Amino acid sequence: MKRNVYLKKTDWKVALQMLHDEFSSIFPLNAEKIAVEDSLHRITTAEVTALLSSPNFNAAAMDGIAVKAESTFGASSSQVKKFSIGKEVELIDTGDPIKNGFDAVIKIEDIVIIDEGIVEVRRSVPPGKDIRYKGEDFKSGDCIIPKNHCIRPVDIGAMLSCGVLDVEVRRKPRVSIIPTGSEIVKPKEKPELGEIIDCNSYISECLVKEWGGIPERCPIVRNDKKVIKQAIEKVISRNNIIIVIAGSSAGEEDYTVSVVKEMGTVIVHGVDLMPGKPVILAKIGDKPVIGLPGYPVSAYIILDIYLRNLMAMALGTPPHKRMKIKVVLNEDINSRLGMDEIVRMKLTRRNGRVYALPLKRGAGILSSLVRADGLLHIPKDEEGVNAGGEVEVELIKEFRS
Amino acid sequence: MKRNVYLKKTDWKVALQMLHDEFSSIFPLNAEKIAVEDSLHRITTAEVTALLSSPNFNAAAMDGIAVKAESTFGASSSQVKKFSIGKEVELIDTGDPIKNGFDAVIKIEDIVIIDEGIVEVRRSVPPGKDIRYKGEDFKSGDCIIPKNHCIRPVDIGAMLSCGVLDVEVRRKPRVSIIPTGSEIVKPKEKPELGEIIDCNSYISECLVKEWGGIPERCPIVRNDKKVIKQAIEKVISRNNIIIVIAGSSAGEEDYTVSVVKEMGTVIVHGVDLMPGKPVILAKIGDKPVIGLPGYPVSAYIILDIYLRNLMAMALGTPPHKRMKIKVVLNEDINSRLGMDEIVRMKLTRRNGRVYALPLKRGAGILSSLVRADGLLHIPKDEEGVNAGGEVEVELIKEFRS
């Protein structure tokens, strides 16, 4: 039986560094100019500065009358001053411009309108009282948001208020996802014996969306070197990152590595991480290619590490960090020396502490990932962790109770 | 000068409870059935159970040969057993079905294929070895994900693997956003004196998207009772929640409250919260209506409290919680007794502690919200907090350094 040379296990963090080194010259992607109103969650490629001041004129901050502050000096409840409306003072609503000559607002509660033309004032106000000055919020030229910033709803509001209608943002990374395998079929209700429903391409597609990219989920291709090669050739020029699902190991019918070798360079084949070991990290032309293991938990872990980082590089941002919490282990967990392991954990809160139970550890047990609240990382130089010990778990689900 | 009776300040938490009580009979919204592949981030309305087992047949977990475990008993490196391929054992790849009669797999590394027909085995295996049993991941009928669960990428993978192609999810709340005000104009580069650029309707639109709804941003309507009324009438039947921006206070030209009174019931007008005080919470027909203050920080705070909660009610989920961190105040903050106040805070990390500085506090200072890392809530029974004191801040930005 022909076999490829079995994959050499690279330290998974070194593999990540190799990926960084290899693609730091082509990422981040270029900028594109889009309408600010469409820019939610996009990443800025340059500082955005105000084109207008906001507010753009001195404005009343209250409903009331605009006055010359000086003219009110000395007014009090025992010494009422009267002003002629439209001449000495002017009725004004919140947001109205303050006309030349006026420099303060007296709010409606502090005046009495005697008749159509006369207002009584019973207090004095200092210059500037209840005026929103031009540029009080943003001055023309001010930085609104910095470079490499993920645009939020309030940022959009601030840009529009400052007359900024277009913004330069990072192009979204386009990721092609190529599921392979003669036994793999599209999701269906009644698969035949031996057929395996493709779930990895859908999980990949959703993760690409969550991480700010545009996925292209390609049709399933059968396990045939020529066909896999054609599938990659078809999409490589229009996408920034290529994912080939399955066939990444070293079995007789695992063609991905040989296809990738023919088309480009294999950077890493195999890492010291479980699940996730039989991964391929490669380069075809100047595009990164990830050969994903077929077991869904392995696939997920690999995407979560390598694709997430590649996409962050493409977007010019640090990869999103998950929250970590300290938990107490409910039972012993043994782990293989020489392999980092990621264990899916179910958490429960009891008497103010959080307890963690490991779920099934097979790379094919997607339910462990669905049911887990968090991930426990056991380093390769540890044989495991003991019940009662405190460890840190990365949350993958909102953990409430 | 005519004035509406000034708004009465309801406790803002009581106001939230009143909103809950008023709309708990119409929310959550109904379910709709959609394709699982389109269900990312939607909320389940019922437990989703597996229609198929996953895997759906007993399968090889390794490349190798399928054997009757019993037939290997006694085999060792000193006592090699030979089997006829295709008769006594069968070549098998990972994922292939285990045929009747076989009950274990010996992996490729542990066998030697002598010639086309014969394989040498040098170890014995127990029944079940390297077989992924039918239903090992999910059994038909198992719960995949619970009710009221926000669907993640792995959940989509799990549902598809279990033959589930459609899923019942909560309809997305549809929110109409009606900006009002004769001085309000669409975003432009060169507004005239007195024109104020609409930013609130864009901020509202983006927040509705983030919170899982479908916004309908309506054209700006001028400050005219009849026109505002028509604008509400036009959209109320096709949307679940109505937001009317500005005119929510009690000034002469603040028409929102009188329009809403004509069309329905005012539940609350004014809360003891700064910024955000002049809010209207109302009901027209069976639809909730929020009359939003015009100052953008007030508008944001009100949306963040009342709209976020209404949308969570509509979706049948708890509102998303933000992370809180403990910080040390860099300077004294005074606050008005009798009013809860939300102060925007800039954070810095120094020697392992996080220090917080209050930003400008005006309701019109959107830049304070853009630049803030978090929000500090000062309760109404406190006159402020002193420099050096430790307080909890809710993060509104990813806080890294």
Task: Provide the residue type at A363 as one letter.
Answer: A
pLDDT of B107-120, one tens digit each? 988 888 888 789 99
Round the average pLDDT of chain B to a whole number and report it: 93
Q: What is the mean pLDDT of residues A191-204?
A: 96
Q: Quote the minimal CA–CA distance from A324 to chain B in Å.
A: 12
pLDDT, residue B272, reads 95
Give the best residue of A200, A367, A373, A401 to mutate against chain B (max B CB count within 10 A): A367
Give the best residue of A370, A395, A401 to mutate against chain B (max B CB count within 10 A): A370
| A137·B367 Cβ contact <8 A | yes
| A137·B294 Cβ contact <8 A | no
Closest residue on chain B to A158 (Cα): B366
pLDDT, residue A321, reads 81
Q: What is the mean pLDDT of residues B302-321?
A: 94
pLDDT, residue B322, reads 87
Looking only at the bridges linking them, the beta strands covering A184-185 and A265-269 are: unpaired
| A36·B155 Cβ contact <8 A | no
Closest residue on chain A to B115 (Cα): A1
| B95·A54 Cβ contact <8 A | no
Domains recognised in chain B with CATH numbers = 12-29+171-315 (3.40.980.10), 32-54+136-170 (3.90.105.10), 59-132 (2.170.190.11), 324-395 (2.40.340.10)
Q: Is B252's pLDDT higher than 70?
A: no
Compute the distance between CA of residue B112 and CA of residue B108 in angstroms, rounded to an integer: 8
Q: Is A398's pLDDT higher than 90?
A: no
Is residue B157 within 8 A of residue A200, CB to CB? The reply is: yes
Q: Quote the minimal CA–CA distance from A101 to chain B in Å.
A: 16
pLDDT, residue A400, reads 65
Nearest CB partner across the interface for B369, out of A61, A154, A190: A154
Q: Quote the minimal CA–CA distance from A390 to chain B in Å.
A: 21
Q: Is B260's pLDDT higher than 80?
A: yes
Question: Nearest Cα to B236, choosing from B267, B205, B260?
Answer: B260
pLDDT bucket at A1, cuts 50 / 70 / 90: very low
Could you tell me which residues come within 8 angstroms of residue A115 by beta carbon, excluding any fewer than 6 positions away? none
Minimum mean pLDDT range among A108-112, B137-141, B159-163, B224-228: A108-112
Q: How many CB pairs under 8 A join A and B?
A: 220
pLDDT of A333-377, one tens digit each? 999 889 999 999 999 999 889 999 999 998 999 999 999 999 999
Compute the distance between CA of residue A171 and CA of residue A293 in angstroms, rounded to an integer: 28
Q: Quote the minimal CA–CA distance from A222 to chain B in Å.
A: 14
Question: Nearest Cα to B214, choosing from B353, B75, B41, B24?
Answer: B41
Could you tell me which residues come within 8 angstroms of residue A130 by beta carbon, excluding any fewer than 6 positions away? A60, A61, A62, A64, A104, A105, A106, A107
Which residue is listed with tokens 């269906």?
A188
Q: Quote the minimal CA–CA distance from B286 to chain A in Å.
A: 28
Round the average pLDDT of chain A to a whole number and report it: 93
Rounded to 5 degrees, what are φ and ψ at A297? -70, -40
Question: Nearest Cα to B1, choosing from A244, A65, A352, A185?
Answer: A65
Nearest CB partner across the interface for B154, out of A51, A321, A370: A370
Percent of residues in chain B assigned helix, strand, coil, to nearest 5: 20, 30, 45
